[in-house]
Structure 1
Amino acid sequence: MDVLIRSFAQVDYQPCWQAMRDFTEHRDDTTADEIWVLEHPPVYTLGQAGKPEHVLNPGDIPVVRSDRGGQVTYHGPGQTVIYLLLDVRRLGIGSRAMVNAIEQSVVDYLATQGLEAVNRDDAPGVYVQGAKIASLGLRIRRKGSYHGLALNRDADATPWQRINPCGYAGQPMTSLAALGVDAARPRVEQDLVTILARRLGLKPRTAAPPRWYALPQ
């Protein structure tokens, strides 16, 4: 089964979130699955059940209440965000199995880079030596998934110190660059998307960005 891969340079969070909701609301049984690969400008997002007290000192970084699962996380330059707009019924996969597949894809990718990573039952995401390198939050509505995962390539660690990442005070964060891995964006994203699509039983096919967003000039 094909999945369309749409890559962006950088996308503001709010219009991207609205586009994901619109896509999911209007999709039908014939709609092709899509994966959006992008970066966001600096932003904190709170999940549906996110507690504002986990946002300690946002400063000039905006805070957005989102409809994904999970608590608070940070998005910004140097972080690859992958949004999965998939027909989960057509894939024949439940929400827990989908989360496991996403996490294991990141674990598999990191293994190709010589890193031993794990997931945790009590805190979705992927960890290397106790430090979190990838965060995950999903929403499934009308049988379609949206939101997804974020992998730290060479993101500035400072904004993480102004929140309790994913609701865990003092949770250390890390990145590919901090672990001595080549964090060049094109290669990281190509390799990770290939592994992710394969684990989900999908065949990636490159497509142009949709009309809702024009790439910065």
Structure 2
Amino acid sequence: METRQDDSGPADAAGIEWRVSPGLVPYPQALAEMERRAAAIRAGEAGELVWLLEHPPLFTAGTSADPAELFNPQGFPVYEAGRGGRYTYHGPGQRVGYVLLDLDRRGRDVRAYVHALEGWIIDALAAFGVAAHRAPGRIGIWTDRNGVEAKIGAIGVRVRRWVTLHGFSVNISPELSHFSGIVPCGIADFPVTSLGEMGVSTGLEHFDLALRQGLYRFLVSLEGRAEKA
């Protein structure tokens, strides 16, 4: 699989591989690569990985997906993801991040991991002047869009033998009408937004840089919360 690697190689002292794939990566290919890499991490045969990519338009179904929440008038492919959660859309203009970490060495606390992951995305959005936040009882990343709370990012994870799979997606400039094919993450009462819709003009590369700059803080937050639990 062709990838674009940052000039600095492994992400800081953490030794995590930082991978950015150009173009649109087919979902089955990405899922197979995640499964392979997670098994290799558990076996001690590969290091941890943060993998940033885009997918062609598609829907993924989490383990709690309700068929009544899938409409799909565009006829996009639908894939069983194996992660937690319900239906999610992926497509061009959306930054998808697959995060494969070994929680066996970073604290066996899945809640601490999800909380730290959310904080990482919130911090990255703040670099573009977007005030994002968590919402009690609602998974994902939220922000204010003209006085209305809207979802700008989704979180969906799986943990197998204490290795994390899947991760997050953040709407940079996707076609928002595509989200109408599902009830995003089972939440029908709030709209979906993007940086582009909010008037923030930036490319995926700039958002990737904000993520890269916040990686160390994310890891420290993860391990700090795990230690306190």
Whether the TM-score (by the shorter chain) exceeds 0.5 is: yes
- Shift in Å at residue 31 of structure 1? 2.9
State the aligned residue count: 202
1:78 aligned partner:
93
In the TM superposition, what is the alpha-carbon distance from 1:121 to its structure 2 partner?
A: 2.8
- What TM-score, normalized by structure 1, do the two folds share? 0.88
Q: Distance in 1 between matches of 2:184 and 2:208?
A: 23
Query: Quick check: 2:127–2:210 contact (8 Å CA) kept in 1?
Result: no
Q: Deviations over 1:49-99 (max 9, x none)?
A: 211111123432111111001100100000000000110111125110111
Distance in 2 (CA, whole Å) between partners of 1:199 and 1:125 is 16
Alpha carbons 1:58, 1:162 under 8 Å: kept: yes
Aligned-partner residue type, residue 23 of structure 1: R
Distance 1:75 1:197, change over 3 A: farther
CA distance in 1, matches of 2:56, 2:189: 24
Question: Could you tell me whether the CA contact under 8 Å between 2:61 and 2:79 is conserved in 1?
Answer: yes
Q: Which has the higher contact order (CA 8 A, sep 6+)?
A: 1
Aligned pairs for 1:1-217 (under 5 A) are 1-9=14-22, 10-27=24-41, 28-29=43-44, 31-129=46-144, 130-201=149-220
Work out the percentage of aligned pairs sharing the same amino acid. 35
Task: Kindly indicate whether the alpha-carbon contact (under 8 Å) linking 2:40 and 2:46 is maintained by their aligned counterparts in 1.
Answer: no
Structure 1 residues 163-191: Cα deviation after superposition (integer angstroms, max 9, x where no partner): 10101124300111111112211111121
Distance 2:21 2:94 in 1: 13
Root-mean-square deviation (CA, aligned residues, Å) is 1.6
TM-score (norm 2): 0.83
**Bigger mean CA deviation after superposition, 107-116 or 3-12:** 107-116
Deviates more, 1:167-176 or 1:82-91: 167-176
Secondary structure, counterpart of 1:69 in structure 2: coil
Extract unaligned runs of 5+ from structure 1: 203-217
Q: Distance in 2 between matches of 1:170 and 1:41?
A: 26
Counterpart of 2:5 in structure 1 is none
Q: Is residue 153–residue 168 contact of structure 2 (8 Å, CA) maintained in 1?
A: yes
Deviations 1:1-58 (A, max 9, x none): 2110011012100111111112212332463111100000011001012111111234
Question: The residue matched to 1:155 in structure 2 has which SS?
Answer: coil
Q: Give the aligned partner of residue 8 of structure 2.
A: none
SS at match of 1:179: coil
The 3-state SS of whatever aligns with 2:194 is: coil
